[in-house]
Structure 1
Amino acid sequence: MDVNTFYAVFSATCFTLVGLWWGVTLRDTSWVGDPVRRRAIGGVYLAFLLPALMGLFAQVGGVEQPAIWRVSFIVIAAAGCLATVRLLTSGHEPALTAIRAGSIAVYVLVALMGVFPGAADLVGLRPIQAEALLLVLLVALGHALVWHHLVHDTAASSA
């Protein structure tokens, strides 16, 4: 698949997931009323929004202007890392801790790839391709967050 096509589809998909998550949060407005839960659902929102934004910047910069996507990936990954670290300190559920720690690790790798694009040569990829694989991991971790919140909250409301 062409990298530009990948990022176009990827960004559109992530923005769709943002919209779907809004719909999920509207099903139970008590989620928004509780400050701890509001931060947690905001973390899920960012798990889809930040990769979507990185995908847009990858389309704008592409292979021709790598500085655009590299700088944006570094800045957005730093913001995602900071937001996730903040969430990591707010909960003690082992599953959430593992998912959030995994997200932090991937954000760090995204930023490092932006700083050191030559590292992609180690695995035989172009830097923008390596970043694409990392963004797929971020979205997969976002899906794990959604699953956790839906199962956890369903179990709590049926108890």
Structure 2
Amino acid sequence: MDVSTFYALFSATCFTLVGLWWGVTTRETSWVTDPPRRRAIGGVYLAFLLPALMGLFAQVGGVTEPEVWRISFIVIAVAGGVATARLLATDTDPALMTIRAGAVAIYVVIALVGVFPGLAEPIGLRPIQVEALLLVLLVALGHALVWHWLVHETIAPEVT
């Protein structure tokens, strides 16, 4: 698949996931009244929004203007890493801590590849392809967050 086509589909899919998550959170208005739950909702939101934004910037810059996607990936990855690390610092659930620590690690690698695109050379891929693979992993962790959020008894809404 062409990298440009991948990022177009990827970005659209991530924005769809953002919209679906909004639908879930607007149906469960009690979630936003509890500060820890509200932070967790925002963490899931960012897990889909930030990769969607990176996908858009990758389309704008593409292979011909790598500075555009590289700078945007660095800035967005730093923001995502900091936001996720802040959530990680408040987690007590080992599963959530593992998911978030994985996301922080991926954000770090995304930023590093943006700063040092030569890191992609040993595996025989272009930097923008490595970033695509990392974004897929990031969204997979976002799905793990949603799954945990919706089924884990300690953070699922109470049934009355």
Task: Please classify the TM superposition score into its range, dividing by the shorter chain length.
Answer: over 0.9
Kindly state the Cα deviation for residue 91 of structure 1 after the two structures are TM-superposed. 1.4
Aligned to 2:128: 128
Counterparts of 1:47-62 in structure 2 under 5 Å? Answer: 47-62=47-62
Aligned to 2:19: 19
Distance 1:155 1:111, change over 3 A: closer
Kindly state the Cα deviation for residue 27 of structure 1 after the two structures are TM-superposed. 1.9
Matched, 1:157 2:158: yes
Q: Deviations over 1:67-98 (max 9, x none)?
A: 00000000000000000010001111000000
- TM-score, normalised to structure 1's length? 0.97
CA RMSD in angstroms comes to 1.3
Q: Deviations over 1:83-129 (max 9, x none)?
A: 00100011110000000000000000000000010111111100000
Q: Deviations over 1:16-49 (max 9, x none)?
A: 0000000111121111111111001100000000
Query: Any runs of at least 4 consecutive aligned residues in structure 1 with deviations exceeding 4 A, and if so which?
Result: 153-156
Counterparts of 1:34-73 in structure 2 under 5 Å? Answer: 34-73=34-73
Identity of aligned residues (%): 75
Count residues with an aligned counterpart: 159
Quote the Cα distance in structure 1 between the aligned partners of 2:98 and 2:12: 27
Kindly state the Cα deviation for residue 157 of structure 1 after the two structures are TM-superposed. 2.2
Structure 2 gap ranges (5+): none
Matched, 1:76 2:89: no
Helix, strand or coil at the partner of 1:71: helix
Counterparts of 1:83-94 in structure 2 under 5 Å? Answer: 83-94=83-94
Matched, 1:113 2:103: no
Quote the Cα distance in structure 1 between the aligned partners of 2:64 and 2:10: 19
Helix, strand or coil at the partner of 1:118: helix
